[in-house]
Amino acid sequence: MQRGFGIDAGIAPGIAGEVARRAEQLGYGSFWVNGSPPDAALAGLEAASRASSLELGVGVIPLTQMAAVDIVDAVSTSDIDPHRLWLGVGSSRNPGGLAEVRDAVTVLRRGLGVHVATGAVGPRMTRLAGEISDAVVFTWWTAADVGRSRPMLEEGAAATGRPAPPIVSFIRCALVPEAGAAVADRAARYQAIPRYAEIFARNAMTAADTVVTGADRSELAPGIAREEAPVDIPVVRAIPADDSTEAVVRLLEACAPVERGGQTKS
């Protein structure tokens, strides 16, 4: 298990490249962006690909915003290193989402030869990920949700006679009080989505309750450790106070698996 770091696709590519460069120095194993808007996500990954040798991931591009064939074209004409790319896709289309994801995985594998991950919220998409994907991405999950979902993933994999793919889970983290307003804004957006609101209610939590917060590294470390324990590929998903390099890097350093100077592991 090697911790990754993820930022919002809306952060400027120049900042994304600088953050990826510093993330590699601090011992992170991968750099991720969320998938919406898709063009911005791919621009951020392209900058990160130039600036570092980290594994790269996008979790996940909504197929309702960019079709699989268009993703193939966009990645093929970019400077993103396909050998390092974990390309996540998902669909909220109802009905038709399962078929759309299944078809997209085939198109992306044939067109790009990359690792293809799929985003999942419900049990049917989780089982499908077990059947066909190189990884499943949970974008706003808790450790308890990961534990409940793994048997579904394994069930899907067993149906096709293969090992279960790894679980990628975003662990949202923020430095407070400076990022308090940003946490409230992001949480409100997800709390308003019915399928996520159901997940939070199941855990007797709000979206804001799932964010790991603290004033510094020592306060963030226990929450990150708790949430990443059942995960194969944990990704610290940054909620910085703002989208400046300084704000993102402060959080990057506070959540790093290795302290500055390469001293201890958190």
Q: In whole angstroms, give the CA distance from residue 107 to residue 77.
A: 16
- Given a cut of 60, is residue 261 above it in pLDDT? no
pLDDT of residue 259: 58
Query: Binning pLDDT at 50, 70 and 90, where does residue 266 land?
Result: very low
pLDDT tens readout for residues 55-110: 999 999 999 999 999 999 999 999 999 999 999 999 999 999 999 999 999 999 99
Share of residues in the chain with pLDDT > 90 (%): 92
d(CA 145, CA 230): 10
Count the neighbouring beta carbons within 10 Å of the beta carbon of residue 79.
Answer: 10
233: helix, coil or strand? strand
Q: Is pLDDT of 1 > 70? A: no
Q: What is the pLDDT of residue 132?
A: 98
DSSP line for 31-97: EEE--SSHHHHHHHHHHHHHH--SEEEEEEEETTTS-HHHHHHHHHTS---GGGEEEEEE---TTTH
| Domain coordinates in residue numbering, the chain | 4-254
Alpha-carbon span 159 to 148, nearest angstrom:
18
Q: Give the residue-averaged pLDDT of 17-33.
A: 97
pLDDT range class, residue 264, cuts 50, 70, 90: very low
| φ/ψ bin of 96: left (φ > 0), alpha (ψ from -120 to 50), beta (otherwise) | left
Average pLDDT over residues 20-30: 97
Compute the distance between CA of residue 52 and CA of residue 163 in angstroms, rounded to an integer: 30
Pairwise CA distance, residues 34 & 89, whole Å: 10
pLDDT in tens, 175-187: 999 999 999 999 9
* pLDDT digits 0-9 by tens, 136-189: 999 988 999 999 999 999 999 999 999 999 999 999 999 999 999 999 999 999
pTM of the model: 0.94
| d(C-alpha 36, C-alpha 29), whole Å | 23
pLDDT on residue 195: 87
Summarised one tens digit per residue, pLDDT across range 105-132 is: 999 999 999 999 999 999 999 999 999 9
Tell me the CATH class for 4-254.
alpha beta
DSSP assignment of 107-139: HHHHHH--EEEEE--SHHHHHHHHHH-SEEEES
